[in-house]
Amino acid sequence: MSKNKYEYINREISWLKFNARVLQEARDEKVPLLERLRFIGIFSNNLDEFFRVRYATVQRIVFAGKSGKKALYGMEARLLLEQITNIVIQQQTESLEIIREIQLRLEDHGIFVIKEHQVTASQGEFIRDYFTEVVSPALMTFMLDDLERFPHLKDKAAYLAVKLALDQEDANYDTKEGKENLFALIEIPDSIGRFVVLPKDKDGKEYIIVLDDLMRYCMDQIFSIFNYKEVSVHMIKITRDAALDIDNDFKKSFIEKISKSVYLRREGDPVRFVYDKTIDPDTLEFLMEKMQIDDTDSIIPGGRYHNRRDYMSFPTLGHKELAYESFKPLPVKGLDINGSIFKKIAKKDYLLYAPYQSFSYIIKFLREAALDPKVTSIKITIYRLSNVSHIASSLINAAKNGKAVTVQIELQARFDEANNIEYAEAMQEEGVNLIFGVPGLKVHCKTCLIERTEGGKKKRYGFISTGNFNESTAKIYTDYTLFTSNSDILKDLNKVFDFFEINYKVTRYKHLIVSPHYSRKRFSELIDIEIANKQKGKEAYIRIKVNSLTDYGMIDKLYQASNEGVKIDLIVRGMCCLIPGKKGMSENIKAISIVDKFLEHPRMYIFGNGGDPSVFISSSDWMRRNLDRRVEVTCPIFDNDIKQQLIDTFNICWADNVKARILNKDQDNTYIKNDLPENRSQLSLYDYFKNRLN
């Protein structure tokens, strides 16, 4: 089959199919009820980010007057926007059905989510007091009729659109003008929890009211100065383009430029307008006219509530049986958390697989380095930090103890820019040497290099990870971290940090595969080796676990390998533009996706290599941005025990027959079902590492 006959799945549609897998978890009756609500929140949050980034990108192509066929791989941009909107409306409708069903099931457990018209007299007293003391001081209310300019609506915020039907004897307004209605917007404060727990009744039943409905109940308090006959209240929300526009003022520091662009992001063009489909037509018409929204924007009728990402923090009310059972992260065999990690790593490499094993080893490693008098320098790359970061405090501690601390911090980590700027400024004040990336490239690799003086000589230690050094997400994201003192690997890693300092010089690496200069070429070579081995009759296969597979060049190489008879197994959590199992193109390729309690985040590459497998962990997906526009590090695994651990973890995931879905041309997310013993891979992986301790 010639190259120009290869087929692909559109990237944006594939992403929506991934989010459909998240919605499947919310629908799954085997998933605990509160976890199902959490998946609704994840689904909603994902969708917000999709519109802020991917939809906005396609929309810019439309506004530029381009067809977008080349950029969008065969689909005209405007048609793609229409298809996206149709899919989103269908998914939103399904999500509303799921929420209603979950709430009915919660009632079986004595938990009731009530609306404003269901409030009892005693609950009303509590709500009035709560509104007065907590909600009212935080409200921002706009009387739209009186404003010359429509107020700026925040991205990600939700608003109540209010129509007051006036009593014609209202002395506050001139009724001679024929004004029958007043319109207002109330911003729902994000400083207050979205779900308000009401007192239990005498039978022990528990009640929750959504903040929006609590505000609806108190409309008479908000608009007490108006003599209105009737009030109608409906929610609206807009999503804005999240692109950063970084100016070229050389007088400003990079932090200043990013800070300004993050601030200006608030003014991004609207890309989605969502409204309660039961809204009064005249209210909707009024709002759209004032907001200058037309059919070039994505206008989506929705349900009564928006910003459903808040369901991620739905109160548990002590009902542990309605959530997933938590487990204690395991220790890493042979790596004593109370002893010196340096002494252990000096003898052999260790693999950490969070959250099955404790992320605290990474913090322990940095804290030990901060105190160790033999440590002279610490170099680390940071992409995302938790809001309260022990990683950052450990680095500051090291700087205060006289270590030369260098931090490459990515100020353009999407939606974490403000947090990273705050930490950058805090570390800079404490004497940490900061590097702000490479012009034109994001630094996405997750690495750390420590130099220690031993016997008058310099000895290197470090770790390379597939995930962020973020203790919060480490509880819910699965990721590998390799601790090593291997001089070959760390010599290459030191060259990566040299590249940050002197980035006009392209360095050669002996062992690490580094983007943007070498990853595409080296991965292609590894695929070619498998093709050559297959042609020679040797063992040949490729096994890949990534978040996304969208780069058409790498997909073509996999198609080529498949056509040569190389067996290829893919585990892709998110977007997958490759079409598996198509005769004459990809019949030797199988692909699955796993969505479960934890977010599958590690990247791993296994090449058969004629019977001596080559195994790599990586920060890089096979997306164009990772291969060509970011600094990424892919690390070979030399330790045979760790190599086998990684192969075993891939095999466990590949054999999942509970949470794994088949990826095919239709991307219909069919679950894998077979007669084998039940294998829910995330539970099996915990058992695997637990058994290794024996």
Residues annotated catalytic, as ranges = 444
SS3 354: strand
| Angle 108-111-116 from CA coordinates, rounded to 5° | 120
**What is the Cα–Cα distance from 658 to 664, expressed in whole angstroms?**
18
Using a 10 angstrom Cβ sphere, with 0-12 exposed, 13-18 middle and 19 or more buried, the burial of residue 547 is buried
Q: Which residues touch 397 (CB under 8 Å, ≥6 apart)? A: 367, 370, 371
**What is the Cα–Cα distance from 650 to 641, expressed in whole angstroms?**
14
Tokens of residue 569, six digits: 């197994």
> What is the helix (H) or strand (E) element at residue 524, kind and residue range?
helix 519-535
**What is the Cα–Cα distance from 571 to 200, expressed in whole angstroms?**
46
**Maximum Cα interatomic distance, the chain, rounded to a whole number of Å:** 93
Location of structure tokens 């004897």: 169
| Angle 525-527-531 from CA coordinates, rounded to 5° | 110
| Residue 600 neighbours by CB distance under 10 Å | 22
| 273 close to 292: Cβ distance less than 8 angstroms | no
* CA proximity to 540, closest of 498, 502, 573, 588: 588
Where helices occur in 73-190 by DSSP H, the ranges are: 77-107, 121-130
For 192, phi then psi, to 5°, come to -120, 140
Q: Which residues touch 665 (CB under 8 Å, ≥6 apart)? A: 7, 9, 579, 582
The CA–CA distances, whole Å, from 475 to 316, 383, 391, 393, 448 equal 18, 17, 15, 19, 20
* CA proximity to 626, closest of 516, 543, 517: 516
Where helices occur in 355-486 by DSSP H, the ranges are: 360-371, 390-400, 417-429
The CA–CA distances, whole Å, from 19 to 39, 48, 84, 88, 658 equal 10, 11, 12, 10, 18
**What is the Cα–Cα distance from 435 to 380, expressed in whole angstroms?**
10
* Helix, strand, coil share of the chain (percent; to 5): 40, 25, 35
